[in-house]
């Protein structure tokens, strides 16, 4: 612990700081929780107090906060924890706005004090505590922690589409949307561009496999609703994509569906350099995943260009 004005060393103390920013996707109010736990200290001659001040360092005129729970110094001893919660709200509610949460922790020992800060530009945690609020998606305005990349999980009830996406992620050298292997997908919010993407990938070169249960549909990955669509990566026809198809087989009166691709029986893999994949897919799976993706965009408040991972069961 170093006294701020003189630089005098006051002693050593170790504390654990726990923080949690809890935005809500359907309201412009969000909370910040903080807990400071003093683990050890060699300072015993004077009472130690801590004070934490937090504010929105930009966009502050649109970021309203309630009374600071840490606004006055609070005594603390070894083994003790103190906590508090701020409640903030976005007051402008026009399009979107970002707020950088910044923190100053001041320790006072017998009239001498030291301060540490984090969250602001060029400070520890720079950008980590950014909150973005918007009213650009869904029925209600809401807020998210901007640097968190959510994961869209493909429901196992759409197992054929899940297999297709998982196979495309694993076999494409860029591994689109596969966390730990490739880059996240980014939302394309322009419906006109989305339709153009789909029109290129699912162009007239697509033919539904006769064995796919009717009405078969063209399913594409990366999604047309993403900026990673092959159509936005230089692909001019879906014929340049990896090709897959759902086929049916009847055994003892029972229909079984499976995913396959050209060359499967010869042990050939889809081309890894392809920038997209498309499949002759069942309507249930194609539209089911598409509907879930739209709801996930609202849940995660994915506005244009926001990143997200896609979990299709790959490890």
> pLDDT digits over 184-232, tens only?
999 999 999 999 999 999 999 999 999 999 999 999 999 999 999 999 9
pLDDT above 70 (res 302): yes
Provide mean pLDDT across the span 289-313: 97
Q: What percent of the chain has pLDDT over 70?
A: 95
Q: What is the strand order of the sheet 63-65 is part of?
A: 13-22, 29-41, 81-90, 63-65
Report the distance separating Cα 50 and Cα 103, nearest Å: 13
CA 183 to chain centre: 12
Is residue 109's pLDDT more than 80? yes
pLDDT tens digits along 238-270 = 999 999 999 998 888 888 999 999 999 999 999
Is CATH 2.60.40 correct for 13-145? yes
Q: Where are the domains of the chain?
A: 13-145, 151-311
pTM of the full structure: 0.88
Give percent of the chain with pLDDT exceeding 90.
Answer: 65
User: What is the predicted pLDDT for the residue at 8?
Assistant: 60
Tell whether the model's pLDDT for residue 3 goes beyond 70. no
pLDDT, tens digit, for every residue of 20-69? Answer: 999 988 999 988 899 999 998 887 667 889 999 888 877 677 888 877 77
Asked if the bond preceding 3 is cis, omega within 30° of 0, the reply is no
Beta-bridge mates of residue 258: 247
- Going by pLDDT thresholds of 50, 70 and 90, the confidence category of residue 72 is confident
Task: Please state the rounded mean pLDDT for residues 278-294.
Answer: 98
For 85-107, the pLDDT digits (tens) are: 989 899 888 899 988 888 888 88
Alpha-carbon distance of 221 to 306, in angstroms, equals 17
């Amino acid at each position: 612990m170093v006294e701020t004005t003189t630089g005098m060393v006051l002693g050593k103390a170790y504390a654990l700081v726990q923080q949690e920013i809890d935005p809500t996707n359907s309201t412009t109010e969000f909370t910040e929780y903080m807990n400071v736990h003093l683990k050890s200290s060699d300072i015993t001659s004077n009472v130690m107090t801590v004070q934490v001040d937090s504010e929105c360092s930009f966009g502050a005129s649109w970021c309203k906060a309630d009374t600071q729970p840490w606004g006055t110094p609070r005594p603390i001893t070894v083994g003790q924890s103190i906590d508090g919660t701020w409640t903030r709200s976005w007051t402008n509610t026009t399009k979107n706005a970002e707020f950088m949460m910044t923190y100053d922790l001041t320790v006072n020992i017998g009239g001498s004090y030291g301060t540490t800060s984090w969250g602001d530009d060029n400070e520890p945690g720079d950008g980590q505590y950014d909150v973005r609020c918007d009213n650009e998606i869904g029925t209600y305005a809401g807020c998210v922690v901007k640097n968190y990349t959510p994961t869209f999980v493909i429901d196992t009830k759409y197992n054929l589409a899940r297999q297709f996406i998982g196979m495309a992620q694993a076999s494409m050298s860029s591994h689109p949307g596969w966390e730990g292997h490739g880059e996240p997908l980014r939302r394309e919010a322009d419906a006109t561009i989305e339709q153009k993407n789909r029109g290129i990938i699912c162009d007239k070169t697509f033919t539904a496999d006769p064995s796919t249960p009717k009405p078969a549909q063209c399913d594409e990955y990366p999604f047309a609703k993403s900026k990673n669509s092959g159509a936005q990566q230089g692909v001019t026809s879906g014929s340049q994509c990896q090709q897959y198809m759902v086929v049916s087989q009847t055994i003892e009166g029972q229909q079984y569906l499976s995913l396959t691709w050209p060359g499967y029986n010869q042990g050939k893999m889809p081309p890894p350099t392809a920038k997209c994949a498309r499949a002759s897919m069942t309507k249930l799976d194609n539209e089911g995943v598409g509907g879930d993706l739209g709801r996930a965009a609202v849940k995660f408040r994915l506005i244009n260009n926001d990143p997200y991972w896609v979990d299709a069961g790959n490890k």
